[in-house]
Amino acid sequence: MWIYNLTAQVDLDLVEEWKGWLPKFVASELPTDNFCQPPKLLWVRSQDTGEGQSFAIQLFFESARSLQLFLGQSDGKIEQASREKFQSKVLYFGSLLEELDWNS
């Protein structure tokens, strides 16, 4: 399994608005037929600062091919739409994770 992890640092004054906006954006703008599970939103509690909170958006893919299709169609959409709505008050950092078998 492949996981596209997008971490967001959200200014405190926008946390609730951003958390309301994100699922609506994902549902309407991202091609979820590539996902093998529904996206997850996680609170990255160890990264909170006095100025903001951190969240991880995780998108799950069964194969590298479905991940590549998704990235070709949607890479940067969340960040771009967020920048248009929230300016620089939400910052993103993306990473790609591959699930490994414990026994290998």
Query: Is residue 31 included in any domain, yes or no?
Result: yes
Domain count, the chain: 1
Query: Is residue 104 included in any domain, yes or no?
Result: no
* Range from 6-10, 52-56, 66-70, 77-81 carrying the lowest mean pLDDT: 66-70
- 26-60 confidence digits (pLDDT tens): 888 887 777 778 899 999 987 666 778 999 999 99
Rg (CA), the chain: 14
Q: Which of these, 25, 93, 16, 81, lies nearest to 53 by C-alpha position?
A: 16
Strand partners, 93: 7
The domain in which residue 85 lies consists of 2-98
Query: Is residue 33 included in any domain, yes or no?
Result: yes
- Stretch 14-27: mean pLDDT: 93
Query: Is residue 82 included in any domain, yes or no?
Result: yes
Query: Is residue 103 included in any domain, yes or no?
Result: no
Question: For the domain that residue 42 is a member of, what is the CATH number?
Answer: 3.30.70.100
Q: At a CB cut-off of 8 Å and minimum separation 6, what does 68 contact?
A: none
